[in-house]
Amino acid sequence: MKKLLGKVIGCLLPGMLIFNGCTADISAIQQTGSVIRTADVALPFNMDVDASTMEISFLVNGQSIPVSNGFETQTVEGYSEKNDVISWTYPEEEMEVQLTKKENYLEVKITSLAETDHSFVWPSILADEYYLPLGEGKRVPANDTAWIDYLDQ
């Protein structure tokens, strides 16, 4: 009896371990706090863009999902919307921005128009907690002083 039980466990255990780690196929958005998870399927989305602050949100199934909080208001020139492409220029920053809506993602191109080096920070995000791709995933609260000190170094 012990040998039979050992064989059954020996045969079933690897399969249970393999299938236990799998996730179910999800066809809709699941939102947990500030974290949004989607399945490996394309979700139809529209964009809400404020070029003066570069604040961008996705509109999915009637829900607004922020992509970037934006920054101080900038002067915008040459704003254009053609098909699935939105573009504009920040003349004072000497930067050109182009957003292209693809089937299941947003392509963002930020191009410097200046001859010299300068910086441009985007996206600006703000959440209660963040998930980092470390090991099996690391949840870090936004107000964790140890991580804030580490990132400031």
pLDDT tens-place string over residues 24-62: 333 333 433 334 444 445 567 788 899 999 999 888 888
Q: With CA atoms as reference, report the closest residue to 29 among 45, 18, 16.
A: 45
Residue ranges per domain, the chain? 28-152
pLDDT tens-place string over residues 114-149: 988 888 778 777 778 888 888 888 888 889 998 888
Map residue 66 onto helix, strand or coil: strand
In the DSSP assignment, the letter for residue 148 is H
| Reported confidence tier of residue 63, pLDDT bands at 50, 70, 90 | confident
Q: Give the contacts of 42 (CB within 8 A, at least 6 positions apart).
A: 103, 104
Q: Does the pTM of the predicted model rise above 0.75?
A: no
Q: Six-digit token pair at 75?
A: 């002067």
The answer to whether 101 and 84 have CB atoms below 8 angstroms apart is: yes
Q: Six-digit token pair at 25?
A: 């196929």
